[in-house]
Amino acid sequence: MPRTTEKFDPPLDFKVFIRNPQGKYLAADDNGLFFSQDRTGALILNYRGDQVEAQLETIRRVHGLNLVPDPVPPEEIYETCDRCKELFLPLMTFFDGKSFLCQDCRKRRGAARS
């Protein structure tokens, strides 16, 4: 099937953890970088924005260390609207004390109450 456009639309950036061959996650504290079993304290990088592929290749070439990117599950980054079940950036949701709502669902709920 022929392409309808010649314009290339690269995929959106996505978040990743970095893991070493032992499966530990790259983390950081006041003393610098280290590897940890605890994923909750791991660094989260933007795969494209932080040029993860190029940096990991440099580390592999210079230090012989084979690190791999591990995508962060979207549900760990985004909030789910409790009404429409879509994922949103946390700053795009509203918590009313009972549920998280996206802007559209919050407007619909307000209109229904009026």
Give me the mean pLDDT over the 40-60 stretch: 95
pLDDT at 59 (0 to 100): 96
Rounded (10°) CA dihedral 51, 52, 54, 55? 110
Q: What is the C-alpha separation between 109 and 96, in angstroms, rounded?
A: 11
Tokens of 33: 């970088």
**Using CA atoms, how far apart are residues 34 and 26, in angstroms rounded to an integer?**
6
Closest by alpha carbon to 105, among 97, 92, 17, 73?
Answer: 92
Tokens 């970095």 — which residue? Answer: 18
Q: Judge whether residue 61 has pLDDT over 70.
A: yes
Q: pLDDT band for position 110 (50/70/90)?
A: confident
Share of the chain above pLDDT 70, in %: 89
- pTM score above 0.85: no
